Amino acid sequence: MQKIRHTPRAATSVRALDTHTGIDAHRHDDHQIAYAGSGVLSITTDAGTWVAPTSRALWIPAGTVHAHRAYGRTDLHLVGLPVHIDPLSLDSPAVIAVGPLLRELILAYTRAPEDGSPQRRRMLGVLLDQLRAAPLQPLHLPAPTDPRLAAVCDLLHADPGDHRTLAELAAQAGAGGSERTLSRLFRAELGMTFPQWRTQLRLHRSLRLLAAGTPVTAVAHRCGWSSASAFIDVFRRAFGHTPGTHPRPLP
């Protein structure tokens, strides 16, 4: 059984992570904001995966067992917040939109000395105000517990570009039940339809590939879009910018 590390105080710090490295499963008694100043960052819990490029940050409530993973060279900025400071009042992880001001506040706050100065307290106050005003983003990829759904989802994790129908994937995976039954399970257990879940998986994978420097056309093909233009349209609607303007890996 994996041992879960318990860190009472969530650190406020900056860490450099190489691609495909991360921080093993752990929990802390404080809330935490995790932001990738470069690269792409994900957190995974038993409930699924949340992913954040440089235009997003991750909210991790106190007590949540989670693991970090980086894609592309990632500067990980962590802001720890005691439980009595709760700007979002959320009991599960979330992805937060990060505008220019919030980005600069996170960068400055995590790099400055923790000296308890009035200037630092004022900076935190503005940072919290920006967090409260930041929109939440639907970038959660839920993880199934039903073994039939898990078998289908495992096939797509292995190849997000797989175009087979739910019935065809279920037959390949040996998952019992009709397509109608499995469709109902997707909505009931994961809160989204099968096509919505597959699109979310493809968006998650596209962020990882872009962070590794994969060309946009290759990302579109590997993630299952019929054309680069179709991929660009879905990506723009999800992230507010085109994949061609997505931050590329550091040299």
Q: Hey, where are the domains in the chain?
A: 5-140, 144-245
Residue pair 47/65 in contact by the 8 Å Cβ criterion: no
Report the pLDDT value the prediction gives residue 66, as an integer from 0 to 100: 96
Q: How far is CA 184 from the centre of its chain?
A: 25
DSSP single-letter state for residue 140: E
Within the chain, strands assigned E span 5-7, 13-17, 22-28, 31-36, 40-45, 48-52, 56-60, 66-71, 74-81, 94-97, 136-137, 140-142
Task: Give CA–CA dist 189/186, Å, rounded.
Answer: 6
**Partners of 6 in the beta sheet?**
27
Report the pLDDT value the prediction gives residue 249, as an integer from 0 to 100: 53
Residue 197 has pLDDT above 60, yes or no: yes
Residue 217 has pLDDT above 50, yes or no: yes
Q: How far is CA 101 from the centre of its chain?
A: 21
Task: Give CA–CA dist 74/41, Å, rounded.
Answer: 7
Query: pLDDT digits over 4-52, tens only?
Result: 888 777 789 999 999 999 999 999 999 999 999 999 999 999 999 999 9
Query: pLDDT digits over 51-98, tens only?
Result: 999 999 999 999 999 999 999 999 999 999 999 999 999 999 999 999
pLDDT band at 247 (very low <50, low <70, confident <90, very high): low
Task: Give CA–CA dist 134/41, Å, rounded.
Answer: 18
Report the pLDDT value the prediction gives residue 251, as an integer from 0 to 100: 44
Q: Which pairs count as long-range contacts for 82-91, CB under 8 Å and 24+ apart, including other chains?
A: 82/30, 82/31, 83/29, 83/30, 83/31, 85/31, 85/128, 86/31, 87/128, 87/131, 87/132, 88/59, 88/131, 88/132, 90/59, 90/61, 91/61
Which CATH superfamily hosts domain 144-245? Homeodomain-like (1.10.10.60)
Rounded average pLDDT over 159-178: 88
Report the pLDDT value the prediction gives residue 7, as an integer from 0 to 100: 79
Q: Does domain 5-140 have CATH number 3.40.50.1820?
A: no
DSSP single-letter state for residue 240: S
Residue 87, classed as helix, strand or coil, is coil
Residue 2: phi and psi, rounded to 5, are -70, 135
Query: pLDDT digits over 103-119, tens only?
Result: 999 999 999 988 889 99
Report the pLDDT value the prediction gives residue 2, as an integer from 0 to 100: 56
